[in-house]
Amino acid sequence: MEDKIVNQKGHNIIMQDRQTLSITGVLDVLAFDEENVDVETEMGMLTIKGTELHVNKLNLEKKELEIEGEIESLIYHDGEAFTKKGNSFLGKLFK
């Protein structure tokens, strides 16, 4: 019997007490600092705003991201504005 790998698209966000954010369906982290995290997800571009934000876990193979800090807002963007800004976070990291 053959094993079939099904590539399902999905995107979920779980926030606990506005302090911890777990996101699935993450394709790339385009930029981040202590006040903003720009993420490309399977459902579009997402900006997380807050203070003292830290990326605790990034696993692009599993499409998972965990962020900690004071989360103030989650904003989805239409279009490809972020992809034209520059290189992705990983691209900048390995330059």
pLDDT at 18 over 60: yes
CATH number of 12-93: 2.60.40.2000
Cα 95 from Cα 87, distance rounded (Å) = 10
CA distances to 8, 70, 82, 95 from 67, rounded to whole Å, are 23, 10, 19, 24
pTM (predicted TM-score): 0.75
| Across 12-34, average pLDDT | 97
pLDDT at 42 over 90: yes
Q: pLDDT tens across 45-92, in order?
A: 999 999 999 999 999 999 999 999 999 999 999 765 555 455 555 555
- Token readout for 73 is 């807002």
Contact 25, 12 (CB under 8 A): yes
